[in-house]
């Protein structure tokens, strides 16, 4: 069993969902992010947030995967201040919803004043509704941006245990762990981490508070990054207990602090029944045979 | 009415839910009525999922009767605890028309799937119902069966308010999604020639594609059987499928068309074993649903 605690499944296909389920992924967390280009209307945010708690959650359930999400205004779009103000008014409508496990992903991109302003406002929102925070650390000037994210979070009085600092690398991990935060690692080709480097980090730092994710989205990325990295850890002699911590348990412990994510959600899930999704305009088109999984049988499509 | 409904629903919850949830609910109801701001209401509506489960209510025969006296067609035996609690919260928001619609529109537009389920199922308990018709019609465009069911099944709202075209669209979509038609309130009373023709076209489309036809579909045809429909029913009688045959026979039995009665006479044994009409359609519908799971 694996959890991918950072994946933008709205951008992925049903083939991906099937492959993820087969590879052992039982739950995913979809952080609210941007769409690859900036939105220009607050209504686009509203419909996106609604998708995260509506259609995408339903779609995932059709493939036997439990879908959670985080809600927030991402740092890139924080730079359109008039729009960002409107998004801030929208967020209270969503942060209390079922299955919203954190405020995120928030933090810095270019590290502008506007980014700083909305990051701080959302830290306050997280405190108010008692949710964990998922911090997106910048691609550029990463080390400084990561440290600044933690400094500001502490300035606002957040407990590091309630904060997951994501997209770490060899340069940031030590300080993030030393200061008591959860450290997320994104296995994403070219821009972030590769699986081999991840294995080395777990060997060096141990499994405590380390969380592996794919951050798979609309770019060249891999929705199977978590199970693939787990396999590589196995081949490299990392023990099962440690693998479980970094690819399942730590994510559950960190985001479970929301009270919105419980192992029973997938362990006691109703058997997979694609007939619920119906024919026609749903995920299954007319003529496709639904996949129905009984308690003891499994019919492949 | 609002207060009667609230106390009735609260009583139902008292039979099923935990004290912590009930205390929380009572506090929220007071807060919503006192603050009168949408944000208090929205937050409580969302967070109800932290206090109430999605277990079905346990309903006595008396309560069923009482529900129907309060609102004709209200069937809380199909409701779960969470949606009941959310309906209590909804009813506690001040019902001043303009402000009510501003808040409710926002709630409908930002709801997650279980919140949608609660809102749409509660349409017959809401104020200003005629102004909510477009909302209900739009809600049926969902592809999430949970939400579709909340409007279409065991809900008196569509039969009471929908114009014919939208009513027909509801029934057709229920057929297309293979939902249990016998759970659509007012299905029999609102049969119409256009719907019968739509049902027939759909059956032909299924046959052309080599797929079977949902047996309950023929119930829509019964009052309008003529030479054309008779051919379809003959074809259905020729299938080996017991449910299909039963459905065709029930349709013939209800029909006033002469040739229908004649055709029925050639199936004396099967006709003898048919139930009373209403029960028979329900059992065909529920048996068909079981073949699908």
Residues 6+ apart with CB under 8 A from B240: none
Measured CB to CB, residues of chain B less than 8 Å from chain A are 39, 42-43, 46-47, 49-50, 106, 109-116, 143-146, 176-178, 209, 211, 292-293
Work out how many domains chain A is built from and give that number. 1
A301 pLDDT above the threshold of 90: no
B170, part of any domain: no
Is B176–A98 a contact, with Cβ atoms under 8 angstroms apart?
Answer: no
Q: What is the pLDDT of residue A273?
A: 55
Assess whether B3 and B123 both reside in one domain.
yes
Is A276–B209 a contact, with Cβ atoms under 8 angstroms apart?
Answer: no
How high does pLDDT run on average in chain B? 93
Assigned token pair, A120: 């701080």
Residues 6+ apart with CB under 8 A from B137: B162, B166
A19, part of any domain: yes
Q: What is the pLDDT of residue B116?
A: 97
The whole-angstrom separation of Cα A216 and Cα A13 is: 11
Q: Are B78 and B153 spatial neighbours (Cβ–Cβ below 8 Å)?
A: yes
A187, part of any domain: yes
Domain range for residue A31? 2-277
pLDDT in tens, A12-24: 999 999 999 999 9
Is B112–A98 a contact, with Cβ atoms under 8 angstroms apart?
Answer: yes
Determine what percent of chain B is predicted with pLDDT higher than 70. 99
A232 pLDDT above the threshold of 60: yes
A285 pLDDT above the threshold of 90: no
pLDDT in tens, B92-141: 999 999 999 999 999 999 999 999 999 999 999 999 999 999 999 999 99
How high does pLDDT run on average in chain A? 91
Work out how many domains chain B is built from and give that number. 2
Is A54–B112 a contact, with Cβ atoms under 8 angstroms apart?
Answer: yes
Chain A residue with minimum CA distance to B172: A280
What average pLDDT does range B276-282 have in this prediction? 76
For residue A183, give the 3-state DSSP assignment: strand
A198, part of any domain: yes
What average pLDDT does range A155-183 have in this prediction? 97
A280 pLDDT above the threshold of 90: no
Assess whether B226 and B284 both reside in one domain.
yes
Chain A residue with minimum CA distance to B174: A278
Q: What is the pLDDT of residue A195?
A: 85
Q: A210-213 and A182-186 as β-strands: parallel, antiparallel, unpaired?
A: parallel
Assigned token pair, A211: 């969380």
The whole-angstrom separation of Cα A195 and Cα A231 is: 10
CB-nearest to B113 from A54, A276, A286 is A54
pLDDT in tens, B14-31: 988 789 999 999 999 999
B95, part of any domain: yes
Is A96–B47 a contact, with Cβ atoms under 8 angstroms apart?
Answer: yes
Q: What is the pLDDT of residue B39?
A: 86
Minimal Cα–Cα distance from A15 to chain B, Å? 20
Q: Which residues of A touch B51 (CB under 8 A)?
A: none
Assess whether B100 and B200 both reside in one domain.
no
Residues 6+ apart with CB under 8 A from B78: B56, B121, B153, B154
A256 pLDDT above the threshold of 90: yes
Q: What is the pLDDT of residue A296?
A: 42
Mutation for testing the B interface, residue in A53, A59, A94 having most B CBs under 10 Å: A53
Minimal Cα–Cα distance from B263 to chain A, Å? 33
Assigned token pair, A97: 């919803």
Supply the pTM of this predicted model: 0.88
* Interface predicted TM-score (ipTM): 0.82
A300, part of any domain: no
Mutation for testing the A interface, residue in B143, B174, B176 having most A CBs under 10 Å: B143
Is B111–A55 a contact, with Cβ atoms under 8 angstroms apart?
Answer: no
Residues 6+ apart with CB under 8 A from A59: A9, A17, A67, A283
Q: A182-186 and A2-4 as β-strands: parallel, antiparallel, unpaired?
A: unpaired
Q: Which residues of A touch B49 (CB under 8 A)?
A: 97-98
A133 pLDDT above the threshold of 70: yes
Minimal Cα–Cα distance from A181 to chain B, Å? 27
Q: A66-71 and A2-4 as β-strands: parallel, antiparallel, unpaired?
A: unpaired
Q: What is the pLDDT of residue A223?
A: 97
A294, part of any domain: no
Is B113–A92 a contact, with Cβ atoms under 8 angstroms apart?
Answer: no
pLDDT in tens, B155-212: 999 999 999 999 999 999 999 999 999 999 999 999 999 999 999 999 999 999 998 8
| Phi, psi for residue A274 in degrees, rounded to 5 | -75, -10
Q: How many CB atoms lie within 10 A of CB B23?
A: 11
Residue A287: exposure state from Cβ atoms within 10 A (0-12, 13-18, ≥19): exposed
B60 pLDDT above the threshold of 60: yes
Is A280–B106 a contact, with Cβ atoms under 8 angstroms apart?
Answer: no
Torsion sign over Cα B40, B43, B49, B51: negative
Q: What is the pLDDT of residue A279?
A: 38
Q: Are A167 and A186 spatial neighbours (Cβ–Cβ below 8 Å)?
A: yes
Q: What is the pLDDT of residue A292?
A: 52
B139, part of any domain: no
B135, part of any domain: no
Q: Which of B112, B128, B144 is the last residue of a domain?
A: B128
CB-nearest to B293 from A46, A273, A279 is A273
Assess whether B96 and B204 both reside in one domain.
no
Domain range for residue B189? 176-293
Chain A residue with minimum CA distance to B53: A98
Q: What is the largest CA-CA distance in chain B?
A: 70
pLDDT in tens, A24-59: 999 999 999 999 999 999 999 999 999 999 999 999
Q: Are B147 and B116 spatial neighbours (Cβ–Cβ below 8 Å)?
A: yes
For chain A, the straight-line distance linking the first and the last C-alpha, in angstroms and rounded, comes to 22
Q: A163-166 and A133-136 as β-strands: parallel, antiparallel, unpaired?
A: parallel
B149, part of any domain: no
The whole-angstrom separation of Cα B208 and Cα B212 is: 10
Q: What is the pLDDT of residue A59?
A: 94
B140, part of any domain: no
CATH number at residue A160: 3.20.20.140
Assess whether B183 and B122 both reside in one domain.
no
pLDDT in tens, A204-218: 999 999 999 999 999
């Amino acid at each position: 069993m694996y959890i991918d605690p950072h994946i933008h499944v709205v951008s992925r296909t049903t083939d991906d969902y099937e492959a993820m389920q087969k590879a052992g992924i039982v739950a995913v967390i979809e952080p609210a992010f941007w769409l690859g280009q900036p939105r220009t209307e607050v209504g686009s945010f509203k419909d996106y947030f609604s998708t995260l708690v509506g259609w995408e959650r339903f779609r995932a359930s059709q493939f036997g995967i439990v879908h959670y999400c985080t809600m927030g205004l991402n740092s890139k779009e924080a730079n359109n201040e008039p729009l960002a103000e409107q998004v801030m008014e929208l967020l209270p409508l969503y942060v209390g919803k079922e299955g919203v496990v954190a405020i995120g992903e928030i933090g810095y991109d270019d590290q502008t004043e506007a980014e700083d302003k909305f990051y701080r406002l959302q830290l306050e929102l997280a405190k108010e509704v008692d949710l964990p925070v998922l911090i997106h650390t910048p691609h550029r000037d990463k080390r400084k941006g990561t440290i600044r994210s933690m400094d500001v979070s502490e300035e606002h009085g957040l407990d590091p245990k309630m904060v997951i600092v994501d997209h770490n690398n060899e340069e940031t991990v030590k300080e993030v762990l030393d200061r008591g935060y959860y450290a997320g690692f994104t296995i994403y080709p070219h821009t972030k981490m590769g699986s081999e480097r991840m294995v080395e980090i777990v060997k060096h730092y141990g499994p405590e508070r380390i969380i592996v994710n794919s951050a798979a989205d609309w770019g060249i990325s891999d929705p199977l990054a978590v199970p693939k990295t787990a396999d590589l850890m196995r081949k490299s002699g990392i023990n099962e207990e440690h693998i479980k911590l970094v690819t399942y348990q730590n994510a559950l412990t960190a985001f479970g602090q929301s009270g919105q994510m419980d192992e029973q959600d997938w362990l006691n899930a109703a058997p997979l029944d694609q007939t619920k999704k119906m024919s026609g305009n749903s995920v299954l088109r007319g003529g496709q045979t639904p996949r129905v999984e009984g308690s003891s049988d499994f019919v492949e499509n | 009415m609002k207060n009667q409904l609230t106390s009735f629903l609260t009583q139902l919850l008292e039979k099923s839910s935990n004290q912590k949830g009930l205390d929380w609910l009572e506090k929220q109801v007071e807060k919503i009525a006192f603050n009168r701001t949408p944000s208090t209401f929205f937050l409580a509506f969302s967070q109800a999922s932290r206090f109430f489960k999605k277990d079905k209510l346990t309903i006595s025969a008396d309560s069923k009767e009482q529900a129907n006296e309060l609102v004709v067609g209200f069937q809380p035996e199909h409701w779960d605890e969470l949606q009941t609690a959310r309906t209590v919260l909804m009813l506690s928001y001040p019902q001043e028309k303009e402000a009510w619609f501003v808040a409710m529109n926002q709630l409908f537009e930002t709801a997650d799937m279980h919140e949608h389920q609660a809102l749409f199922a509660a349409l017959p308990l809401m104020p200003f119902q005629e102004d909510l018709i477009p909302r209900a019609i739009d809600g049926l465009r969902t592809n999430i069966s949970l939400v579709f069911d909340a409007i279409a099944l065991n809900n008196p709202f569509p039969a009471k308010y929908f114009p014919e075209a939208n009513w027909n669209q509801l029934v057709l979509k229920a057929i297309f999604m293979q939902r249990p038609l016998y759970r659509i309130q007012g299905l029999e009373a609102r049969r119409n020639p256009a719907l019968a023709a739509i049902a027939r076209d759909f059956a032909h489309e299924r046959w052309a594609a080599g797929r079977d036809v949902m047996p309950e579909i023929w119930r829509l045809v019964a009052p309008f059987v003529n030479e054309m429909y008779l051919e379809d029913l003959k074809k259905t009688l020729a299938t080996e499928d017991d449910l299909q045959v039963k459905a065709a026979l029930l349709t013939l039995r209800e029909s006033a068309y002469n040739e229908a009665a004649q055709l029925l006479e050639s199936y004396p044994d099967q006709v003898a074993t048919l139930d009373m009409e209403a029960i028979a359609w329900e059992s065909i519908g529920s048996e068909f649903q079981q073949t699908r799971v």
